[in-house]
Amino acid sequence: MSLVGKKAPIFKAPAVINGEEIVEDFSLEQYIGKKEVIFFFYPKDFTFVCPTEILAFQEKLAEFESKGVAVVGVSTDTEETHLAWLMTAKDKGGIEGVTYPLVADPARTIATNFDVLAGDWSYNDAGALEFDGIPVAYRGTFLIDKEGVVRHETINDLPLGRNIDEMIRLVDALHHVDKYGEVCPANWEEGKDAMQATKEGVSDYLASH
């Protein structure tokens, strides 16, 4: 079930912040009324596509922050594994230099509540509990507004990396809609024309493009 238009699931979990400090009760609630959040899931620490995404978010972090948006990552690894990866140099396969929070979800409850877990538990014919699939998160990305409501979500399969610039475009679109009350047409980017959500608005937009 899509979470778009609904409150993002609430959680408290360990996380590594500032690339070096473990906190035990990290929550997205700290951003309510203050910032939007890009909350993204990735499959696993010490892997291959994941560091490219995590470092790409870091490269764009100043731009997100300038727009009043926090970036938070999460995987099903432990906080100790996050910290070890953050302490590993990039040329050794690490993500040293990442400063935004990385949340630990080893119990898979956050991934389950956001419906991005790449499998599920079930009982076999012998009555034993088994996991069907892969017990990691898909590449889920959620744009959460200042009220804690999910305004956008995408979920990529494990091999498919994200486009970070698209996340920035969506933030810009959300800000435009909230500020001007206009809607953003296909391929809209900041600085381009938007349109009124009326038949006349659509007609005027199409006629001028």
DSSP code of residue 106: T
**By three-state DSSP, how is residue 136 classified?**
strand
Catalytic residues: 50
Query: What is the C-alpha separation between 36 and 38, in angstroms, rounded?
Result: 7
Contact by Cβ (8 Å): 61, 122: no
- What are the DSSP calls for 5-44, one per residue? TSBPPP--EEEEETTTEEEEEE-GGGGTTT-EEEEEE-S-
